């Protein structure tokens, strides 16, 4: 699923535009503006954003940063409307660290990004791509406009389908020209040979690229699929495996799930 027809260059289906604290990876705790795009080329067993996998008639747009009050605008959202909403929210909260392009898989909309991002780059906004790391040809189209890349490395036993490792390596080879870190969602189902393969890919590109091991967050929707969760002992063992070749391997759970009361 890669959106590249003419209308998809001028407008995109979004799920939401909102401010929040980054809850994953090495920029955890940074205030960001999230632009969540609809659609994804994968369907991981553990997906925690199923609402972003399919298009909706309307997009939720936060009215005031961090106030959690939303208006609805019609999908698909035109470039000029999205640009205006991003500028309004970032002007209202100037200490925003960066604009997170997330999903779903945002690179499904790479054609749209080519038209959407340049105006906002002129405003000195930084762009933070949250990606599943499987669409290198799409990344090529937009990488010049990105600042930070959070790249998932998908493990076949965890996502429930085959992974094209060549694409993973090609993607990371492109992403390393930016501020990139890698992330593996650890479900407890991963096989040692798969993890070793991922380690070798990162080491071949650059052993100093940070890797975040993110244990799957126990939530009801996963429990219903009979998920197991990794123990601290198994996480430390996986960290040890990656540290055989990589210099920066951290275990960091999602923290935004703890912020629901705020």
Q: Which residues bind ligand SF4 (CB under 6 A)?
A: 40, 42-44, 47, 49, 103-105, 132
Quote the least distance from Cβ 46 to ligand SF4, whole Å: 7
Kindly tell me which of 42 and 153 has the beta carbon lying closer to ligand SF4.
Answer: 42
Kindly tell me which of 201 and 216 has the beta carbon lying closer to ligand SF4.
Answer: 216
Kindly tell me which of 52 and 120 has the beta carbon lying closer to ligand SF4.
Answer: 52
Q: Judge whether 128 and 160 are in contact, CB under 8 Å.
A: no
Query: Which of 118, 145, 153, 115 has the alpha carbon at shortest distance from 129?
Result: 145
Structure tokens at 186: 């650890």
**CA–CA gap between residue 107 and residue 195 (Å, rounded):** 25
Quote the least distance from Cβ 63 to ligand SF4, whole Å: 26
Quote the least distance from Cβ 247 to ligand SF4, whole Å: 27
Kindly tell me which of 104 and 136 has the beta carbon lying closer to ligand SF4.
Answer: 104
- The three-class DSSP label of residue 175 is helix
DSSP-derived letter for residue 86 is: H
Quote the least distance from Cβ 95 to ligand SF4, whole Å: 28
Angle value at C-alpha 39, between 47 and 162, nearest 5 degrees: 55
**CA–CA gap between residue 143 and residue 133 (Å, rounded):** 13
The alpha carbon dihedral of 113, 115, 116, 120 has a sign of positive
Quote the least distance from Cβ 52 to ligand SF4, whole Å: 6
Quote the least distance from Cβ 123 to ligand SF4, whole Å: 28
Enumerate the H helices of 76-164 as residue ranges. 79-92, 110-122, 136-142, 156-159
Kindly tell me which of 106 and 111 has the beta carbon lying closer to ligand SF4.
Answer: 106
Kindly tell me which of 120 and 212 has the beta carbon lying closer to ligand SF4.
Answer: 212
């Amino acid at each position: 699923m890669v959106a590249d027809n003419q209308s998809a260059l001028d407008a995109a289906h979004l799920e939401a535009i909102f401010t929040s604290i980054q809850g994953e990876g090495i920029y955890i705790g940074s205030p960001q503006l999230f632009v969540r795009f609809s659609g994804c080329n994968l369907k991981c067993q553990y997906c925690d954003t199923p609402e972003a996998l399919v298009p909706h008639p309307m997009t939720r747009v936060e009215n005031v940063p961090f106030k959690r009050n939303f208006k609805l605008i019609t999908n698909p959202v035109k470039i000029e409307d999205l640009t205006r909403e991003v500028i309004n929210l970032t002007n209202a909260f100037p200490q925003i660290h960066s604009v997170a392009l997330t999903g779903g898989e945002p690179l499904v909309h790479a054609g749209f990004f080519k038209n959407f991002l340049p105006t906002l780059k002129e405003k000195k906004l930084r762009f933070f791509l949250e990606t599943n790391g499987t669409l290198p040809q799409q990344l090529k189209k937009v990488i010049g406009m990105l600042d930070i890349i959070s790249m998932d490395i998908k493990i076949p036993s965890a996502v429930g389908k085959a992974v094209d490792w060549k694409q993973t390596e090609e993607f990371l080879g492109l992403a390393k020209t930016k501020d990139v870190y890698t992330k593996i969602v650890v479900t407890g189902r991963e096989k040692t040979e798969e993890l070793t393969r991922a380690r070798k890919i990162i080491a071949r590109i650059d052993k100093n690229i940070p890797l975040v091991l993110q244990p799957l967050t126990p939530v009801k929707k996963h429990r219903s699929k009979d998920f197991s969760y990794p123990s601290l002992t198994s996480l430390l063992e996986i960290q040890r495996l990656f540290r055989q070749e990589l210099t920066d391997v951290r275990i960091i759970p999602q923290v935004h799930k703890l912020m629901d009361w705020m």
